[in-house]
Structure 1
Amino acid sequence: MQYYTKQQLQGAGGYSPGVRVGNWNEEANMQETKLKELLLKQQEGSLKLNIFQQRVAIALQPVNCSTIRNDGLIHFGDVLQLANVGAAAFLTCDIEDRDTRVGDFSCTVSATVSNGSVACSTFLIAKYSPAQPSICDREYSDDALHYGQKLRIIANPMVQGETLDGLGGSRPLYLYSRPVGTTHFAKFSRHQLVALTDRASYDTVWQVVAVDPGQRGVSEGVQVMAGAPFLLQHCATKQDLCLENHSFVNDLGSQLEVSAHSSFSKGQKSVCDMERMGRTQGQLDKAEGEPNHWTFLTGNTVATLPMTSDQGEGAQALIKIIAQSADAGPGGWVGLKRKLLHLDVDGSGAVNAEDLSIALRHAGLCLNGGELQLLARQWPTVHSDQVDVLALVQAIEKAFCTDY
Structure 2
Amino acid sequence: MANVRKYSPNVRVGNWREDEALGQDTLKDFLHRKDKGELTIQKTGTLRQNILKPVSLTVSQDGFLHFGDTVMLVNPGGTKADPRNPCTVSIIADLSSVRSHPQANFEPYLQGPCQVGGASSLKPCVRNAFVITSVDGTPNGDMLRYEQNFALRTTAGFAGELFLASDHRTLEKCAKRSRLQEVSLVEQLEFFCWWRVVYFDPQERLEYEGYPVQGNTKVLISHCKTNQCLAALANYILWTPFGKEYEITAHTLRDSHKAERDSNHWLFVPADPGEHVGPITQENQPDPQPVTDT
Return the TM-score normalized by structure 1: 0.60
Offset, 1:230: 0.5
Matched, 1:213 2:202: yes
Contact 1:17 1:24 in 2 (8 A): yes
Q: State which of 88, 102, 119 in structure 1 corresponds to 2:126.
A: 119
Contact 1:79 1:122 in 2 (8 A): yes
Q: Look at both structures and tell me which one has the larger radius of gyration over its CA atoms.
A: 1
1:49-60 correspondence runs (5 A): 49-60=41-52
Which residue in the other structure is 1:187 paired with? 176
Distance in 1 between residues matched to 2:115 and 2:143, nearest whole Å: 29
Offset, 1:306: 8.3
- Counterpart of 1:55, as a letter, is L
Offset, 1:250: 1.5
Matched length: 259
Q: Secondary structure at the match of 1:16?
A: coil
Question: 1:141/1:155 Cα in 2 relative to 1: closer, same or farther (>3 Å)?
Answer: closer
Q: State which of 70, 73, 77 in structure 2 corresponds to 1:79.
A: 70
Q: State which of 259, 268, 290 in structure 1 corresponds to 2:262.
A: 290
Q: Secondary structure at the match of 1:187?
A: coil
Question: 1:46/1:142 Cα in 2 relative to 1: closer, same or farther (>3 Å)?
Answer: closer
Contact 2:58 2:281 in 1 (8 A): no
Deviations 1:54-112 (A, max 9, x none): 11111111112123x4111111122110000123101001244779xxxx951101110
Which residue in the other structure is 1:147 paired with? 146
Q: State which of 242, 252, 259 in structure 2 corresponds to 1:252.
A: 242
Q: Secondary structure at the match of 1:121?
A: coil
Which residue in the other structure is 1:27 paired with? 19
Offset, 1:127: 1.4
Contact 2:116 2:185 in 1 (8 A): yes
Contact 1:91 1:121 in 2 (8 A): yes
Deviations 1:195-236 (A, max 9, x none): 000121100000000111111110111111111011000000
Deviations 1:234-271 (A, max 9, x none): 00000000111211222122211100000122xx4x3x
Which residue in the other structure is 1:363 paired with? none
Distance in 2 between residues matched to 1:20 and 1:307, nearest whole Å: 60
Which residue in the other structure is 1:94 paired with? 92
Distance in 2 between residues matched to 1:115 and 1:27, nearest whole Å: 53
Distance in 2 between residues matched to 1:185 and 1:64, nearest whole Å: 33
1:34-49 correspondence runs (5 A): 34-49=26-41
Which residue in the other structure is 1:61 paired with? 53
Which residue in the other structure is 1:263 paired with? 253
Q: Secondary structure at the match of 1:120?
A: coil
Distance in 1 between residues matched to 2:162 and 2:148, nearest whole Å: 20
Q: Secondary structure at the match of 2:54?
A: coil
Pick the structure with more strand per residue: 2
Which residue in the other structure is 1:358 paired with? none
Deviations 1:288-342 (A, max 9, x none): 101100011111248454899xxxxxxxxxxxxxxxxxxxxxxxxxxxxxxxxxx
- Counterpart of 1:246, as a letter, is Y
Offset, 1:141: 9.7
Which residue in the other structure is 1:372 paired with? none
Deviations 1:329-359 (A, max 9, x none): xxxxxxxxxxxxxxxxxxxxxxxxxxxxxxx
Distance in 1 between residues matched to 2:203 and 2:250, nearest whole Å: 22
Q: Which runs of 5+ in 1 are unaligned?
A: 1-6, 131-138, 161-170, 271-285, 309-404
Contact 1:65 1:117 in 2 (8 A): yes
Comparing both chains, which one has the higher relative contact order based on Cα–Cα distances under 8 Å and sequence gaps of 6 or more? 2
Q: Which runs of 5+ in 2 are unaligned?
A: 78-84, 98-110, 285-294
Which residue in the other structure is 2:108 paired with? none
Offset, 1:26: 1.7
